[in-house]
Amino acid sequence: MTTPKPADRSYLDLAVALWEALWLPTTGSGLSAAVADSLHTHEIRVWETIIESLGGHPGQAVAVARTFRACRRRALRLLPGVETGLTLLGRRHVLWVATNGLPAHQRMKIAATGLEPLLDRVLISGEIGVTKADPGFAAAVGRSLRKDGQQVCLVVGDSATQDLQLASNGAWQAAHICLEGACAGDAPRGVVVTHARLLANVSLRCGC
């Protein structure tokens, strides 16, 4: 897979995975024309490389890229237990979601999976300017909390490097969606972590 040039680091710094660059929005992304053009070139080169490795004709790359975009959007769905878990947690809590990526892309995913009605606020790295793992993200969350007169009960996520690091930076308790006990060593120091296989199980352990 090709890698965007150094001039395009702005989107990588927001933790947009290279595979996600294959189906970023083509309009309304907020990216500069130069970065958008570079990402389109990256997308086509990736498919040319894949097609050639399979013995096909690289001239099919544009059509394959279009098909992948359509299929990837249709494949968006919630993991087991997510809707139930959020519904249960939402009965007693205000729900905020923190996510890495471009605003247009992340909001499209949230809308496509039907999460919008369950969430009270969406915090996106592309709007805040740093990733969830950056101390600046936790600081931004803290400012919003103080403004709204709220406090964090629990940070819930499946990423030790992003979600648990966010909890550590904010000095908040966390729940890690994982195979219970299998990832305890991945948690950043100084954060209290419980583990659960499904989001629906988290509501049973939340004491606030």
* Whole-number average pLDDT of the chain: 84
User: How is the chain split into domains, by residue range?
Assistant: 6-74, 82-205
Of residues 14 and 200, the one with the higher pLDDT is: 200
CB-count exposure of residue 143 (10 Å: 0-12, 13-18, 19+): exposed
pLDDT in tens, 100-130: 988 889 999 999 999 999 999 999 998 898 9
Question: Please, which pLDDT band fits residue 67 given cuts at 50, 70 and 90?
Answer: very high
Q: Which fold has domain 82-205?
A: Rossmann fold (3.40.50)
Question: Please, which pLDDT band fits residue 9 given cuts at 50, 70 and 90?
Answer: very low
pLDDT computed for residue 192 by the predictor: 76
pLDDT in tens, 162-174: 999 999 999 998 8
Contact 163, 185 (CB under 8 A): no
Instruction: Name the one residue in this structure whose structure tokens are 């139930």.
Output: 84
